[in-house]
Chains A and B, each alone.
Chain A
Amino acid sequence: MTTTASSTTPAVEVHDLRKAFGSVQALDGLDLTVETGQVAGFLGPNGAGKSTAIRVLLGLLRSDSGSARLLGGDPWRDAVALHRRLAYVPGDVSLWPNLTGGEAIDYLARLRGKPDKRRKAELLERFELDPTKKARTYSKGNRQKVALVAAFVSQVDLLVLDEPTSGLDPLMEAVFTEHVREAKAAGTSVLLSSHILSEVEKVCDTVTIIRGGRAVESGTLDDLRHLTRSAVTAVVDGDPSPIAAMAGVHDLATTSNGAGTRVTFDVDNSEMGRVLPAISALGVHSFTAQPPSLEELFMRHYGDELAADGVPTSGDGADGAGKHAASSRAGAQ
């Protein structure tokens, strides 16, 4: 890895970036940072502006205003020099129809520098890709694998991955995750755009949630979890109703079962310290607290939109969290 002076500056630094296509404001003051050597998740549903931001960073689109720096350079002016140090995987890979997968990988890798034959063979085997087939006969998942192999085969400073696992089966997703971790261990910075929350949760150090072309939440996963709630389930002897009145407690529900009273509620993580003594005073038989999943974070920002589109969401949209809580409850008995 080239650990030059740029190792102190972030790999990606975007500030107040704006880009409009006609009357559509695709980016509306986006801020985004990827620290060198970190894996940054870039989350948002389709149409949130993820791909537009990435294309500005690749110098394919010219931003209207704001600043964008990539590996210490200007993504538009220094495109060629910067592209030598990065690899890109688009979400919808379109390959040259009369090239085989192996030829496409070699071509892309050679443009970046001298490819490592052994590494290519290794990656082909890990991703279970037949390199002798013509690109037009590949399925979507296999085209995606070609792009992934072409990206991982080069030693680069930055990986820009735009929904890279679309079309991959779960086994291949696991292989992908492994290689992202490997790249990170080698000092590569990664910008991973996705709408698959579990994927981001598995590999990312930081997360930026984008909505309407603007970052609505960003920080480390722990930071973000602090801002949100945990789902608590407990079986207690006493009457839990006073807890409902405590600050930071939401959606408290009780059912009586043979052993005592089962109580479920969500609590703001910042208030957890005050709620715990109160509940332990009630005589606890069992207790589970489920940390908020990324899905829950995500739904909190997009839940209203889904509700408006007629998709049922429970309360503040913590559907997934509810399911987790249910399964841990079953395990507790």
Chain B
Amino acid sequence: MSAVTAAPPLASAPAARGGTTLTGTWSLVRFILRRDRVRLLVWSLAIPALYLASLGEYTAMADDPEGMQARAALVQTPAMVSMTGPGYGTDDYTVGAAVSNELVLWMVLALAVMSILQVVRHTRAEEESSRSELVRAAAVGRHAPVVAALVVVLLVNVVVAALSSAVLVGAGLEAVDSVAMSLGVAMSAMTFGAIALVASQVTEHSRGATGLSMAALGAAFTLRTIGDMQEQHGSWVSWLSPIAWAQQMRAYVDLRWWPAALGAVVIVVLLFVASTLASRRDFGAGLVPDRPGRADALPSLRTPAALVWLQQRMALLWTALGLAFMWFATGTIVNQVGAMTESLANNPVYASVLGSGEVTKAFVGIIVLYAALGAAAYGIVAALRAKTEEDAGRAEYALATPVSRARWLGANLGVTSAGTVVVLVTGVLALAGGAAVAGTEDVTFGEVTEAGLLFLPALAVFVGLAAALFAWIPKATSLVWLLLEYTIVVALFADLFHLPDWARRISPFWWVPDPLTAGVDWVHVGGLCAVALVLFVLAFAGFRRRDVATK
């Protein structure tokens, strides 16, 4: 990939030669590789690196067979099932079984996000800007841009699979299982790339296409959790999720290839659907043509906040609805935690890990954490809309009206913060409601809600950091995503990686008290509020003094 260093000409085909609808695909592939060389290189190296780091920990753990079996017991607890897999090989928990059971979920998630972003970026987003128009007007076939985008996603997934296999085999794991598992992960990830392609045909905006695809990923995540909670090794519900297909290959335990074929079939079907939809619509349009709107604005549209609200409300509505649905569904399986606990109760190793009453609370605690991560991601996306506004030149236009910098930023951050609160609160209430509907007695509605609301100060830190970066170093706003990714790593892998305390404290979520399993440390809550406040003040001070980017 890095071998491509110069931008190739877009249309190398001579005019005299005829062409097919795929003419120019190869040139476009090289062009995408050139444009995205840094981000693709980071993805390609990060995934194998994550395998490498975890392998070190698992290998060390395997030196102590008892420790390994304790881990096997731990990963069958409800809280851990929601973070790992269907639990194959827990009778004899080898390094391979641990890798396959615990890591596949996260590798699929990461590569699925990569595939979704990459597909949308090179299909709908290109079409939305007029860049694709420029390319399609050249000697490039009608289907070439889409096929090129898919080829690149396929290429990256294959490269990641090859490097990952090499790392796994290098650590002494079985070669066939390593290759099978890596390809299974790639196949599941590609499925979401294909979903993103369909979404790109349906919606008119890249943001909508990304949102739809991410919703599909969230649904797949939830279905997998619910299915694997219902039954050891997963119920039929698990099989509805492309994530499970990679996990169900049982790599390093009792390898079977056919679940990967499910992915291949679904991908082919999705590509067929996408191409059918594509041929039914015009360039640049969605499936539903635009209807005329109002000639005059509603009387309420007279403040910057009203405008921001108008721009963000649909995204907020769908995010809150989608996530609430996910958390409600997850809440309804909370009562099954008790049943799982009983079936495991005669396992002495397991009993030493957790007291039975605490298990449900630990599980709910993890789901609340997921809900908070979802709300944090929403908050970051919404806060960074300010940067989109500036990059598009709309901030310049808006600030040439009698609207002060503070009022403009305040409108953006106000709507963003309110939206983030809504996403978290509806999510937590849905989870608590789901649990109540299921009739659990281990946690109360109030306890779940309290645990969720305690995340609000940490969410304010994320929004505040996004705003402060936007105000001071707009080019570096993506650093806030890095902090969120780090927060996920700390929340899920801190113990596995033996992260030192100081490293865990960088994560804002580390400071959030968990009233379900411990008391509430109000000093930590106050500290998070103070940090958030400082970040917001910095944001306003910085945006007031800097130049507005000009197009």
Contacts and interface: CB of A to CB of B under 8 A. Distances in A.
Given A60-B396, A60-B547, A83 B294 contact: no
A119 B399 CA distance: 24
A60 B399 contact: yes
Nearest to B393: A94
Contacts of B393: 90, 92-94
Contacts of A88: 397, 400-401
A102 interface: yes
Interface in A29-60: 51-52, 55, 58-60
Interface in B506-551: 545-548, 550-551
A278 interface: no
B402 A90 contact: no
A133 interface: yes
A94 to B, nearest CB: 4
Contacts of A147: 397
Interface string A178-202: 0000000000000000000000000
Interface stretch (A107-115, A205-213, A232-240, A310-318): A107-115
A59 B61 CA distance: 62
B404 interface: yes
A111 B302 contact: yes
Contacts of A90: 393, 396-397, 400
A96 B550 contact: no
Contacts of B550: 51-52, 55, 60-61
Nearest to B404: A80
Interface string B385-400: 0000000111011011
Contacts of B290: 133-134, 136-137
Contacts of A59: 399
The secondary-structure label for the interface of chain B is: loop
B293 A83 contact: no
B446 interface: no
A95 B307 CA distance: 12
Interface string A139-174: 000000001000000000000100000000000000
Nearest to B313: A98
A90 B403 CA distance: 17
Contacts of B296: 102-103, 106, 117, 131
Interface string A77-104: 0011101100010101111111110110
Given A111-B402, A112-B401, A96 B297 contact: no
A107 B304 CA distance: 9
B400 A110 contact: no
Contacts, number: 108
Contacts of B301: 103, 106-107, 110
A103 B297 contact: yes
Interface string B263-295: 000000000000000000000000000101111
A146 to B, nearest CB: 11
A62 interface: yes
Contact of B302 (A51, A98, A110, A134): A110
B205 interface: yes
A153 to B, nearest CB: 12
Contacts of A99: 293, 297, 307, 310
Interface bracket on A = 35 or more
B232 interface: no
Nearest to A121: B295
B293 A100 contact: yes
B293 A96 contact: no
A94 B297 contact: no
Contact of B310 (A98, A131, A160): A98
B401 A83 contact: yes
A132 interface: yes
A132 B295 contact: yes
Of B399, B401, B550, B551, most A-chain CB atoms within 10 Å = B401
Nearest to B545: A62
Interface in B163-221: 204-205
B386 to A, nearest CB: 13
B308 to A, nearest CB: 10
B294 A132 contact: yes
Given A94-B392, A102-B294, A83 B311 contact: no
A103 B296 CA distance: 5
Q: Of residues A58, A90, A107, which shows the largest number of chain B Cβ atoms within 10 Å of its Cβ?
A: A107
Contacts of A117: 296
B396 A80 contact: no
Contacts of B400: 58, 60, 83, 88, 90, 160
B311 A96 contact: yes
Given A61-B550, A83-B402, A98-B311, A131 B295 contact: yes
Contact of B297 (A106, A133, A136): A106
B401 A133 contact: no
A66 to B, nearest CB: 16
Interface of A: 51-52, 55, 58-62, 79-81, 83-84, 88, 90, 92-100, 102-103, 106-108, 110-112, 117, 130-134, 136-137, 147, 160
Counting from the closest, the 7 A-B pairs by CB-CB distance are: A106-B297, A100-B293, A132-B292, A103-B297, A88-B400, A94-B393, A102-B295
Given A98-B311, A100-B295, A117-B296, 11 more contacts: A58-B399, A60-B547, A88-B401, A93-B397, A96-B311, A103-B296, A106-B296, A132-B292, A134-B293, A136-B290, A160-B400
21 contacts: A51-B550, A55-B548, A55-B550, A58-B399, A83-B403, A93-B393, A94-B394, A96-B310, A99-B307, A100-B295, A102-B296, A103-B294, A103-B296, A107-B297, A107-B307, A108-B401, A110-B301, A110-B302, A132-B295, A137-B290, A160-B400
